[in-house]
Structure 1
Amino acid sequence: MSYNENPFASSHSLDTNPFDDPTNNQPPADAARLEELRQREADLERRERELAQKSEHIRQHGRNNWPPFYPIIFHSIQDEIPQASQPLITRLYQLWLVLVGTLIVNMVACICILASGAANGGSDLGSSIGYVIFITPLSFLLWYRPIYNGYMKEQALYYYLYFFFGGWHLLFSVYMIIGIPSTGSAGLIQTINAYSKPSLPAAIVGTVATVGWVVQGAGLGFYYRQIWAHHNAAGHSVEKAKTELAAHGAKAYFTRG
């Protein structure tokens, strides 16, 4: 040992400053998870800002615009639905319009069936008028509006409402396609009977009604599966739906909150 050496000096140099903050040796997987959470938070904040801006626009320029002849609610796919989901909701709205048109054609077909002298023509006509009066608004309120709200607010409650009432509507569509006499449906059986008489007006209009029932039923069944897949991917649950119902209540059905 040399007398010129510092006896308190370490023979090993420090690679790092002991007074520095400890380094973050976080695993890459955790870092990726944190980045994903940050991105999701940023996306939620962006959507909240967009909804707030649209809500203010609606407050200033008026809210209710649908139905056009007597506005009672605000309905705007372009303004309220995220851009990626707009094509889907547009197709569902178009299918709802097909349903309304089919109900009207079905009623006209039942008028023709009654005029052709069918034994159960009166029952068919009465039921078909009831379908136009009740199915038109109920289908909008019970399955179209819930899925519209579901994609607008991304809340589980609306998806479950859609699956329940949309499922019943699919069964109703099958029932109407069959066309059992005296049920108010100018479906297959009624149309075949009209061709066999023959009663061409009832047969032709019945064919149009049957095609309408098939188109709207098949289309809704196709999108029902797509929405189910989206619902599962989004991680919705019954517990989440209960929490949303407790937090927002029924008033959230028509509002943006």
Structure 2
Amino acid sequence: MPQFEDNPFSDPTIDNPFSDPSVQQVARSTTNATRGLDDYNPFDGQQNANQATVQQPTQPAIMQAVSPPAGQYTRPAQPQQSQAPPQNFTTADFQELKRRQEELERKAEELARREAELRAGSAGRRNNWPPLPAFCPVQPCFYQDINVDIPLEFQRIVRHLYHLWMFHALVLALNIIGAMSLMIAGQGFTIFGLSILYFVLLTPFSFICWYRPIYKAFRSDSSFNFMVFFFIFLFQIIITTVQSIGFSGGGSCGLITSISAFEVNVGVGIITLLVTIGFITSVVADVMLMAKVHRIYRSTGASLAKAQAEFTTEIFRNQHVQTAASSAAAAAVNAQIANANSNRY
């Protein structure tokens, strides 16, 4: 029988690899992990149900940060923006919000009222201009509401034109006072009578002949009414220019009349000079507003052909014109029938 060699690891001079602490730790963990497998019986269901399962502790994978190579650009980390917390509302802020809410509610009610009036149509509206008291035997002749009838972008220019008409009426009224002072100073009754006539005629005619057409033009985008406004308003400018000059015996306290009034009386000259300044201001305002209206008119794409087409359409829509045309057509037909009957016999 061969003799066995001695254990090579018994020599203390030789290092035993199994004496390494790391190897022994792995061996112990392996023993603990397989301890439950040694006694495992796959055919014993009760033992398997009662046996506790051994779970291996797991550790999440952690990626180590790798430093970029030298010379490579690294994007710096963006600092987080800190959001400041909203400030608390004070009493003043609450009152301001409440006021704005009330203002929006009032505007909503006003818009609802205007919408109801627009739905009602012009037939359901009552005339409100001129604003006369209820006991007056003469009732208002026109309906006017710039906030309802005129589009929002044209309301300002229409108000300016309305104020310009009122300024013309005011200057004509002051012209009566200046003419009265001239009459008292011995200049005769003619200038005073003509000043009254100018006020009585020009004030309503200017409202009807050029203000109402421009009001309708902006209300319904009517080229025909624009043309009527330009034609009549040109005469308005010419008349106001003549009145600002103030020819002798013309019935207006213009520049010439005020200069001659200073020779008679200084007080009368001052009054007539104020009226002259009013006439000159009216002329300047007329020219400026006419230029502005013409610029708006050109921007809307209106033309003379469109105005003629609107005029023809309005003529045929007129009830009186339709009645006259029907009567003329009926008379022509009756005349032809009478002629045919007379020729037959």
TM-score > 0.5 by shorter chain: yes
Of 130, 135, 157, which residue of structure 2 is paired with 1:67? Answer: 130
Distance 2:115 2:252 in 1: 43
Distance 1:51 1:100 in 2: 33
Of 149, 155, 165, which residue of structure 2 is paired with 1:96? Answer: 165
1:211 lines up with 2:277 in the alignment = yes
What corresponds to 1:139 in structure 2? 206
What corresponds to 1:108 in structure 2? 177
Distance 1:194 1:170 in 2: 25
5 Å matches for 1:30-41?
Answer: none
Q: Residues 239, 198 of structure 1: CA spacing in aligned structure 2 closer, same or farther, 3 A cutoff? A: same
TM-score by length of 1: 0.72
Q: What one-letter code is carried by the residue in structure 1 that aligns with 2:281? A: V
The superposition leaves residues 129-161 of structure 1 with CA deviations (integer Å, 9 ceiling, x where unpaired) of 110110001100111111111111111001100
Q: What one-letter code is carried by the residue in structure 2 that aligns with 1:139? A: S
Is the Cα contact below 8 Å between 1:116 and 1:199 reproduced in 2?
A: no
What corresponds to 2:98 in structure 1? none
The superposition leaves residues 196-254 of structure 1 with CA deviations (integer Å, 9 ceiling, x where unpaired) of 22241x223212211221222211110100111111121212221111112123988xx
Q: Any stretches of 5+ residues in structure 1 without a counterpart?
A: 1-49, 253-257
> How many residues in Structure 1 have an aligned counterpart in Structure 2?
199
TM-score by length of 2: 0.54
Of 208, 215, 231, which residue of structure 2 is paired with 1:164? Answer: 231
Secondary structure of the 1:249 match is helix
Distance 1:55 1:97 in 2: 31
Q: What one-letter code is carried by the residue in structure 2 that aligns with 1:78? A: N
Q: What one-letter code is carried by the residue in structure 2 that aligns with 1:224? A: M
Q: Residues 250, 131 of structure 1: CA spacing in aligned structure 2 closer, same or farther, 3 A cutoff? A: farther
What corresponds to 1:39 in structure 2? none
Greater C-alpha Rg: 2
Q: What one-letter code is carried by the residue in structure 1 that aligns with 2:222? A: Q
What corresponds to 1:154 in structure 2? 221
What corresponds to 2:300 in structure 1? 234
Distance 1:240 1:51 in 2: 29
Is the Cα contact below 8 Å between 1:96 and 1:216 reproduced in 2?
A: no
The superposition leaves residues 74-113 of structure 1 with CA deviations (integer Å, 9 ceiling, x where unpaired) of 0111111111111111011011101001111101111111
5 Å matches for 1:120-139?
Answer: 121-139=188-206
Distance 1:126 1:250 in 2: 43
Distance 1:251 1:124 in 2: 45
- When the two chains are superposed, the root-mean-square deviation of aligned CA atoms in Å is 2.1
Provide the identity percentage: 27
- Comparing 95-104 with 240-249, which one deviates more in the overlay? 240-249
Distance 1:250 1:78 in 2: 31
What corresponds to 1:191 in structure 2? 258
| Higher relative contact order (Cα pairs below 8 Å, separated by 6+ residues) | 1
5 Å matches for 1:244-255?
Answer: 244-249=310-315
Shift of 1:51: 8.3
Secondary structure of the 1:185 match is coil
Is the Cα contact below 8 Å between 1:67 and 1:73 reproduced in 2?
A: yes
What corresponds to 1:54 in structure 2? 118
1:83 lines up with 2:152 in the alignment = yes
Deviating beyond 3 angstroms after TM superposition, the runs of 4 or more aligned structure 1 residues are 50-53, 57-60, 249-252
Q: What one-letter code is carried by the residue in structure 2 that aligns with 1:68? A: P
Of 229, 242, 245, which residue of structure 2 is paired with 1:178? Answer: 245
Distance 1:102 1:250 in 2: 40
Q: Residues 104, 173 of structure 1: CA spacing in aligned structure 2 closer, same or farther, 3 A cutoff? A: same
Secondary structure of the 2:189 match is helix
Is the Cα contact below 8 Å between 1:89 and 1:148 reproduced in 2?
A: yes
Is the Cα contact below 8 Å between 2:185 and 2:265 reproduced in 1?
A: no
